[in-house]
Structure formats: C-alpha cells, structure tokens
Amino acid sequence: MKFPDSLASTIHWRAALALSISISISLLASGCSSHAAPQGAMPAPEVSVAKVLVQPVRQWDEFTGRVAAVETVELRPRVSGYVDRLAYTEGQLVAKGDLLFVIDQRPYRAALAHARADLARARSEAQLAKSQAKRAESLIAVNAISREEADTRIAAVAQADAAVRAAEAAVTSAELDLQFTEVRSPIAGRTGRALITVGNLARADTTLLTTVVSLDPMYVDFESDERSFLGYQALARRGERAELSNAVRVGLANEDGYPHLGKVDFIDNGVDATTGTIHARAVLPNKDGSLTPGLFARVQLEGAAEAEALLIDNKAVLTDQDRKYVYVLGPNNTAVRKDIVPGRLMDDLRVVTSGLSPDDQVIVRGIQKVFFPGMPVQPTV
C-alpha cells in the first residue's frame, strides 16, 4: 500500500523520535548504573588509633580562689598639712623607702628651729646653774652663804639638766615631724592611684593617700569543702600527705592548665559553720608579675598518693549534649561509641574515670570521617 508523501513523512519523524527517546533512557540508566557501583564500593576511611594509657597519676583536687598580695599598705600621713608635691607616677613600681608624697614642710621647719633655740637656752641655763652651784660650795666652806642658799643652787642644777633633756626631746620630736612630711613607701611593690591631689589638706593618721601592694611572692586564698578537709586529715594520719606545704597548681582565667606552682602555707583553725568550708592559703612566686591581686584563680591541691589511671588523647573526646564519648575500634574494624566520665586534664591527656578498659583502642585522628556508630574504618597505629 502506498501512503501519501505527507503521511509517510509524519510516520518517519515519529519513529525517529521514539528511537531517540529509547536511546536516551538507555544511556541514562547506564549512567546511573555506572555511578551506583563506585558508591557501593567506597573504601572505609582511614583513622589513627591509640591504646588507652595506664600509668600512675597523683590526685589533684580542684578549688576556686582569689589572688592576694602578701603585703598591702594603706598609706596615711603621720603629720597634718597641705600636700605640696606628688613624687611618684600612679601605678609605678617602687622600692622600699621611695618618696611618694611631700607635705608642706615650712611649718615643721619653723617648729624645729624653735625647738633648737629652746634647747640652746636650756643648755645655757644649765651651764649657769652648774657655775652657781660650784661657787656655792666654795662660799659655804667659809660661811659666806647659808646652807639653804647653797642647797637651792645645787637643786637648780638638776632642774636645769631636766630642762635640757626636755628640750632635746622636743628637738627630736620636731625632727621626726619634719621627716614625716616626706611620705615614703614602707614596702616594695606597685602603687595605686593617688587619692588626694596637690593643695589639699591631709590629716595625720586619717587621710588615705594611696595604697601599695607587694608583687612577689603572692597569695592565693581559697576555701576547701568539709569533705575534702576531712579526707586530707585522714591522709595525713596515714602518712600519705603532709599536713602543710603541700604542692598546689594555679591557673588563671585565660590560661590552659595550671602553670603556676606553689605550696600551702596556711590552713585556718576552724571550719565555717555557715558555709561548711575552711579557709586555706597558698603562696606562689611571681617573678614575671603575671599574678595580680584580685584575679580569679583555679587551684589544684595535691590530694591522695599516686594511683593507676586510664588516660587518652584529649582530642579524642567528643561531646553529645551533656555527655562525653569516644569512638573505639570494635569487631571487624568498626567504630564503636563508648560514653565516658572524664577526669582532669594532664597536659594533652585526659584522665578517664569510667567507660573504658585498658585494652580499648581509641580513635584519635580521622574522627571527623566517622559519621555513625558501627561504621567500617581502616585503622592505623
């Protein structure tokens, strides 16, 4: 049968279109199949594992405290007067005896000159009294004066000597007052801001001029809870811990770990019944000046004797909300999750108090490639 040319053309076009669609579907299916095969054959990720370390660890109990200066001086004048000069820069380091303030010295110089003049007069009068007493002894021998007159002259010598001593004491007092117009630092340390300025009246023993704090060594004051204190006493009785001079380690708010080393130098004589704590104090060297009074401090106090503990690389510890966990190498080289209870940090190692055994191999590198528990992995040591 012969079709018209237009109809034949239409049939040919439709056949070609159907063939093209069929070929495209085949190619697409072939492409999907070729991509699916490599996915199913994806190799397990490589991870590094490390066996749990078992080694002796000394227990350190943790507390919080505050840094304090060993010496703190509130500087007040010993004499009254108007501030004439500020002789230091606020906040500077000073040595013991450095000049900080000067009180107007003119009234005290005048008082000293007056006292010295009184002393000179008293000494002159004493010399006259001695001469008159000596002359009286000669006159009484020839009955030129009465015994009463002679005794009066002799007594005048003692009175004159007493007047000299009083005048000398007045001079010493005036010299001290003049010396006290120069207010000097009684300790070495760092000065605070000036609390009074030039021209203002400073009253003796009342007006606070500034403060000075020592810088080396430094104290760290902290409170130990009652349970820990009783534990320390028990350890001391067994000879496992000295009662004082125990080592402490201190870390500041911006520091990792506990880089500052010191020792306990004071434990209070009673527990505070209100808080159930006892006050303790550590002393630490501060050569670099990094410890400043008032800073918050994290304190670790040496506790019980050494005991074996489990340690792992701290980078292996992961967090799931409020729980800590690690991945360990499981059967058939799979990643097995184990929840742990972490202890304190020792350099880069984390103490694990529960959740692991000494035979566990912990995944320490490549953890980011483990997407779910039970995932196959390729371990390397």
Report the C-alpha gap between 218 and 292 in whole angstroms.
8
Distance (Å, rounded) from C-alpha 277 to C-alpha 253?
23
pLDDT given for residue 59 in this prediction: 74
Supply the pLDDT for residue 190: 96
Which pLDDT score is estimated for 240?
Answer: 64
Contacts of 267 (CB under 8 A, 6+ apart): 243, 244, 278, 279, 280, 281
Dump pLDDT digits (tens) for 24-40.
444 444 444 444 444 55
3-state secondary structure of 141: helix
Rounded Cα distance between 315 and 11, Å, is 71
Asked if residue 156 lies in contact with residue 129, where contact means CB atoms within 8 angstroms, the answer is yes
- Which residue in 304, 298, 320, 324 sits closest to 312, CA to CA? 324
- Where b means 16+ CB within 10 Å and e means fewer, 77-100 reads bebbbebeebebeeeeebeeeeeb
- For residue 349, the Cα-to-chain-centroid distance in whole angstroms is 24
Amino acid at 40: G
pLDDT for 11: 41
Cβ count within 10 A of residue 222: 22
Confidence (pLDDT) at 15: 46
Q: Which two tokens stand for residue 113?
A: 């000159």
Q: In the prediction, which pLDDT does 132 show?
A: 82
The tokens describing 315, both together, are 């980078």
> Residue 4, preceding bond cis, omega within 30 degrees?
no
Instruction: State the pLDDT at residue 41.
Output: 52
Answer yes or no: are the C-beta atoms of 316 and 362 closer than 8 Å: yes
- pLDDT less than 50: residues of the chain: 1-19, 21-38, 244
pLDDT at 258: 86
**pLDDT given at position 73:** 96
Q: pTM to 2 decimals? A: 0.65
CB atoms within 10 A of CB 152: 14
Rounded Cα distance between 291 and 152, Å, is 72
pLDDT of amino acid 17: 45
104: Cβ contacts below 8 Å, ≥ 6 apart: 81, 82, 83, 84, 181
DSSP 92: -
Identity of residue 127: Q
pLDDT value, residue 244? 46
Phi and psi angles of residue 37, each rounded to the nearest 5 degrees, phi first:
-65, -45
**Distance (Å, rounded) from C-alpha 253 to C-alpha 298?**
8
Cα separation of 262 and 282, whole Å?
7
Say how many CA atoms lie within 13 Å of 256 toward its Cβ: 5
Q: pLDDT (tens digit, 9 = 90+) per residue, 212-221?
A: 999 999 999 9
C-beta separation of 340 from 379 below 8 A = no
**Tell me, what's the pLDDT at 305?**
63
> How far is residue 369's CA from residue 59's CA, in Å, rounded to a whole number?
35
Amino acid at 381: V
